[in-house]
Amino acid sequence: MPKDNPKDQLAYAKSFLDAAKYDQARREFRKLLKAYPKSAEAAESQYYLGVADEAEGKLYEAYQNYQKVIDKYPFSERIQEIIEKEYKLAEKFMAGEKRKAFGVVLPVENPAIEILGKVVENSSYGPLAASAQYKLGLVLKGLSRYYEAEEEFSKVVSRYPSSEWAAAAKFQIASCRSSLSKGADYDQGAAQEAKEKFEEFAREHPDAILSLEAEKNIRGIKEKEAESSYNIARFYEKQKAFDSAKIYYNDIIDNYQDTVWASQAVARLQIIERENEK
């Protein structure tokens, strides 16, 4: 049976938590929740269930118990503290914490996605909202879910334009576009969009460290574009459609002078000229 009042019951439950007797502590906290659901101590009991789980490394369960405080007891004085705890739990999952807890597979691809989403929802424009929004994009990008990642990065730019994460988010948007252009089939449209976004980023943030990475990506995309044009030109050349081939070779020479394909285009044009002189 629970103690005669919620205050005594909370103190009794906490005594087990302080002694690292987590199972007994959980049992007593749940007794309080059942016997005194509308008491001020109920919110504290729910919070300490999360603390007990986190102490034992049950990180996803800890998040679930912390979130219940926000959902059921929105006037708790621990709301901001809980948001910070959830944010740190998400970072642990981002750092590679196992998706399995005591042999049970968690019902999500990466718990950080769910947790960071809740941090943003819980705090909207709070101190952790912008960084949580940005890191949500990073998690999705790491899972190759580029369209979703780009959407989350775009929210950083639109919702938190003056935050320290806005510039990095613009870079990541371009990076997502670039990733979409790669693969077995070269997506020229996505590559062009990526190049434009990288160029925009480099113009707006010339002194940013990421601008160097942006310039590197621009060069890589140009190499890919030039290679695509070169392959088209070679196709026309093999079909004896020399005028069409020359258009593409000249385009490479004019617009992609700093790529490895420019010299090859010059060489192919010379070969075509010699063939036409015969």
Q: Is pLDDT of 188 > 70?
A: no
Q: Is pLDDT of 106 > 70?
A: no
Contact (CB, 8 A) for 146 and 176? yes
Q: Which of 159, 157, 191 is nearest to 174 (CA)?
A: 191
What residue ranges do the domains of the chain occupy? 1-56, 79-172
Whole-model pTM: value is: 0.74
Contact (CB, 8 A) for 19 and 52? no
What CATH number was assigned to the domain covering residues 79-172? 1.25.40.10
pLDDT category at 108 given cuts 50, 70, 90 is low
Q: Is pLDDT of 102 > 60?
A: no
Tokens of 216: 């590197």
User: For residue 74, what is the DSSP state?
Assistant: T
**CA-based angle 123:106:52, to the nearest 5?**
65
CB burial of 139-171 (b: ≥16 within 10 Å; e: otherwise) equals bbbeeebbebbbebbbbbbeebeebebbbbbbb
> For 3-61, how does the pLDDT look when each residue is reduced to its tens digit (9 = 90+)?
899 999 999 999 999 999 999 999 999 999 999 999 999 999 999 999 999 999 999 99
User: For residue 101, what is the DSSP state?
Assistant: E
> For 166-176, how does the pLDDT look when each residue is reduced to its tens digit (9 = 90+)?
988 988 998 88
pLDDT category at 224 given cuts 50, 70, 90 is confident
Contact (CB, 8 A) for 14 and 48? yes
Instruction: Please give the mean pLDDT across all residues of the chain.
Output: 87
